[in-house]
C-alpha cells in the first residue's frame, strides 16, 4: 500500500498565478529574492526584453517561473530570471538596479518602439501590471534530495529549460550544491577555457552549454565508467554523486587541474581543439562535443607527456587524429556508445603521443 500521508508530507508544490505588479511588490518587500547567480542577469538584448513586453500586451502565453521556498518562507526565483527581470525593469528599473528600459525592436506593435513605461496610458500600464504569470513553488521540505528530485522531474522532458539549466537550479536545493555550481560557473569564465570553446554557438551559451562543458570535462576525467550512452543521465549521475558525497571532489585541487589542462589546450590549439579541420588545415564549424571529450580525455590522461611535446607537432598530430578513419568511425553514427566514447579518446591519445597502433 502507498502511504498517502508520507506522499503529502514529501511532495509539496504549489502552482500560483502572480501578476507582474504583485511580483514587483513582493520583490520590493524582499519576500521574493531574485538571485542572478541562478541565471545570468540580462543576457537578453534590449530587443528581446522589449518583445517580451510586446508579448505581454498582446496577451501571448508566457512560460511559467519556478520558485523555491527557503527556511524563512521567503521565495527564491530559480528559473525565469530573464522574463521576470525584463518586466520588472520596464515597470520600475530602480527596483532592480537597472537602467530604464526603452522599448525597441517590437515588430507587431511598432508604435511601442521608443516608449518608456511612463509614456503608456493608464490602461496599458494596468494591463501589464495585472498580467498573470504561472509560478511553480517548491515548498519547504525536510528532505533536500526530495526537493532536488522534484525540481528535476518537473522539468525533465519539457522544453522550458535545458538540461544544464535544470542542473543549475536543482543542485542548489542540496546543501553544498550552490558552492559546487558556483565553481562550475567560475571555471566557465576562465579565459583559457573561454578561448578554447570559442566555437560554441552563442545560443548554446544562453542555455548554459559552456557550464555543461565544464561538468563534462570533469565527468570525462573522473567518471568514464558511468558513461552508458546517454549524455544527460551520465552528467546528472556524476553531479549527484558529488552532491551526495558518493564521489570526492576537492574544488581547490580540481581548479589547478582545470586551469593547467585548458592552459595547454588554448596555448597550443587556440579555438581549434574541438572542431573539424578543412582541406587547408584550418579549424572549421562549431565545437563538436565528441571532439571535446576525446581531446580533454586524452590530455588529462597524459598531461605530463603531452606537455613535453612541441606545440607545432601537437597541432599536426591532432589534425591527423581527427582525419583518421578510426576517429571518424568513432564520432559518426552511434558515437554515444561506450565503446566509441573510449575509442575516440584512445585514438587522440595515440596520435598526440605518437604511440604505435594498439598502444594507449
| Alpha-carbon torsion, ordered 12, 18, 23, 26, to 10 deg | -60
**Residue 103 pLDDT class (50, 70, 90 cuts):** very high
Number of Cβ within a 10 Å radius of residue 246: 10
- 347 pLDDT exceeds 90? yes
CA angle 338, 339, 341 (to 5 degrees): 65
Contacts of 356 (CB under 8 A, 6+ apart): none
Distance CA 260, CA 306 (A): 12
Please report the pLDDT score of residue 160 as a whole number.
53
Output phi, psi for 291, to 5 deg. -70, -40
Task: Give the global pTM.
Answer: 0.68
Higher-confidence residue: 63 or 129? Answer: 129
Q: Bigger pLDDT: 326 or 76?
A: 326
Whole-angstrom distance, CA of residue 234 vs CA of residue 223: 8
Q: Give percent of the chain with pLDDT exceeding 70.
A: 86
pLDDT at 73 over 70: yes
Residue 333 pLDDT grade (very low, low, confident, very high; cuts 50, 70, 90): confident
Q: Which long-range contacts (CB under 8 A, 24 or more apart) does 309-318 make?
A: 309/352, 309/353, 311/267, 311/268, 314/268, 314/269, 314/352, 315/268, 315/269, 315/272, 317/351, 317/352, 317/354, 318/269, 318/273, 318/348, 318/351, 318/352
* Bridge partners of residue 261, in order along the sequence: none
Place 53 in a pLDDT band, splitting at 50, 70 and 90.
very high
Amino acid at each position: 500500500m502507498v502511504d498517502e500521508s508520507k506522499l503529502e508530507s514529501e511532495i509539496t508544490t504549489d502552482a500560483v498565478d502572480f501578476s507582474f505588479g504583485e511580483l514587483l511588490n513582493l520583490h520590493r518587500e524582499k519576500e521574493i529574492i531574485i538571485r542572478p547567480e541562478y541565471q545570468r542577469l540580462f543576457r537578453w538584448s534590449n530587443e528581446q526584453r522589449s518583445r517580451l513586453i510586446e508579448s505581454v500586451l498582446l496577451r501571448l502565453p508566457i512560460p511559467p517561473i519556478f520558485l523555491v521556498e527557503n527556511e524563512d518562507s521567503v521565495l527564491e526565483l530559480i528559473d525565469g530570471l530573464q522574463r521576470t527581470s525584463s518586466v520588472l525593469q520596464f515597470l520600475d528599473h530602480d527596483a532592480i538596479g537597472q537602467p530604464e528600459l526603452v522599448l525597441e525592436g517590437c515588430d507587431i506593435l511598432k508604435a511601442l518602439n521608443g516608449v518608456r513605461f511612463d509614456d503608456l496610458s493608464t490602461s496599458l500600464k494596468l494591463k501589464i501590471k495585472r498580467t498573470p504569470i504561472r509560478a511553480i513553488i517548491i515548498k519547504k521540505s525536510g528532505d533536500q534530495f526530495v526537493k532536488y528530485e522534484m525540481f528535476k522531474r518537473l522539468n525533465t522532458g519539457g522544453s522550458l529549460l535545458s538540461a544544464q539549466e535544470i542542473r543549475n537550479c536543482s543542485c542548489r536545493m542540496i546543501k553544498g550544491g550552490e558552492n559546487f555550481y558556483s565553481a562550475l560557473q567560475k571555471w566557465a569564465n576562465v579565459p583559457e577555457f573561454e578561448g578554447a570553446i570559442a566555437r560554441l554557438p552563442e545560443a548554446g551559451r544562453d542555455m548554459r552549454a559552456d557550464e555543461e562543458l565544464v561538468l563534462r570535462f570533469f565527468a570525462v576525467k573522473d567518471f568514464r565508467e558511468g558513461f552508458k550512452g546517454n549524455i544527460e543521465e551520465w552528467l546528472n549521475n556524476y553531479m549527484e554523486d558529488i552532491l551526495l558525497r558518493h564521489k570526492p571532489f576537492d574544488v581547490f585541487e580540481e581548479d589547478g587541474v582545470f586551469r593547467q589542462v585548458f592552459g595547454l589546450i588554448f596555448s597550443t590549439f587556440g579555438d581549434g581543439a574541438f572542431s573539424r579541420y578543412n582541406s587547408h588545415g584550418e579549424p572549421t564549424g562549431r565545437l563538436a562535443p565528441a571532439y571535446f571529450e576525446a581531446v580533454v580525455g586524452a590530455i588529462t590522461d597524459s598531461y605530463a607527456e603531452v606537455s613535453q611535446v612541441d606545440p607545432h607537432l601537437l597541432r599536426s598530430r591532432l589534425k591527423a587524429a581527427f582525419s583518421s578513419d578510426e576517429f571518424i568511425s568513432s564520432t559518426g553514427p552511434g558515437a554515444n556508445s561506450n565503446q566509441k566514447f573510449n575509442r575516440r579518446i584512445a585514438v587522440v591519445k595515440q596520435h598526440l603521443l605518437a604511440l604505435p597502433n594498439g598502444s594507449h
